[in-house]
Amino acid sequence: MSTLWSDHIAGLEPYVPGEQVQMPDLLKLNTNENPYGPSPRAVEAMQAALGDDLRLYPDFQGLGLRQAAAKCHRVTPDQVFLGNGSDEILAHVFNAFFLRGGRQLWLPDVTYSFYRTWCRFHEVPHRLIPLADDLSLKASDYTGETDQEPSGIIFANPNAPTGCALPLDDIATIARARPDSVVVVDEAYVDFGAESATSLVDQFQNLLVVHTLSKSRSLAGLRVGYAIGPVELIQALTRVKDSFNSYPLDRVALAGAQAALEDTAWFDRTCRAVIEARTQLTSGLQQLGFEVLPSQTNFVFTRHPREEAAIIARGLRDRAILVRHFQAPRIGQYLRITVGTPEQCTRLCDTLKDILSA
């Protein structure tokens, strides 16, 4: 801490990402990266973008990429907003929609922990709504009578770190029940088996859906995300962006992301492979006595009835396998494990077997 800091800096609670370490023979299953590489067409497009044109600023409107995203989701390009990873978009969302005269933002008690960091950063008043005992999100907890309408509602769907998904009807029910609240659905993991709410944005003026290219498009290193929503919400985000950084995406990222969205064959094949490996991982864990929540993501959320999650995580780390353990209320007994290739899932289960029998 320093006396040179602005007043609010000491009170921030920065998000802590999964660790990135160097060790021999490391198996990294702690940050939900895709085990398969990005589309070769995306890599080619990025290589082609590495040239003399880099002296020029990128297209600040990212039109080519917005058109590609619009085509994927059957919307128009003016319903698409781009950001430097979906984290940047979500940070803009808090600024653009959740500071409305002291009204509260509603969010689940167990969800992507960055939301609470942004609440703190932007001083957003908020209410945590507990998930059900089985860690599922109940739409009815968001639709009832209230003294004060929330400024907004935000959750990940499928939720993180639980991996459980809410059906589209429930999202429509929430958006319909709260027309004066911006309902933000973070679909970072939706491509691994859940239904996207982008098909609903033309029906609801208050619904915004956020996507990332970090997971199903295997481009976490590129930092690209996008939001899909009604034009008026996109305009608010654009006003925030252009008051912050007009060029969040560079030329290489715009080219690579566009080619990745256009390569639907690669996307379909790699998503399918992850989903198949998830089935293998789930049954491997169950055979070892783990309870595994139903996942529609590229990770599983699991606990062992007898062994402490922290001890298992440490045992895995000692054997060069990283998984994520959150020291947080309600979920301290769980591990979040990224789905790897079939070989990686086998190595994980074999190692867990050793640890449990030691």
In the complex, the residues that contact ligand PMP under the rule CB under 6 A are 85-87, 112, 156, 160, 186, 188, 212, 214, 220, 225
Using alpha carbons, list the distances in angstroms from residue 173 to 97, 122, 142, 176, 177.
Answer: 20, 28, 9, 5, 6
Phi, psi of 16 (to 5 degrees): -110, 105
Q: CB of residue 193 vs ligand PMP: minimum separation in angstroms?
A: 15
Nearer residue to ligand PMP within complex by CB, 70 or 154: 154
Q: Compute the least distance from the CB of residue 245 to ligand PMP, in Å.
A: 15
Least spacing, CB of residue 36 vs ligand PMP, in Å: 17
Name the residue nearer to ligand PMP (CB basis): 313 or 352.
313
Distance CA 86, CA 125 (A): 22
Q: What's the closest the beta carbon of residue 93 comes to ligand PMP, in angstroms? A: 11
Residue 47 Cβ vs ligand PMP, minimum distance, rounded to whole Å? 22
Name which of 274 and 355 has its Cβ closer to ligand PMP: 274
Instruction: Name which of 158 and 284 has its Cβ closer to ligand PMP.
Output: 158
In whole angstroms, the minimum distance from the beta carbon of 17 to ligand PMP comes to 7
* Shortest Å distance, C-beta 222 to ligand PMP: 9
Complex with ligand PMP: residue 35 or 85, whichever CB lies closer = 85
CB closer to ligand PMP out of 240 and 288: 240
Q: Are 53 and 251 in contact (CB under 8 A)?
A: yes
Comparison of 124 and 352: residue with beta carbon closer to ligand PMP:
124
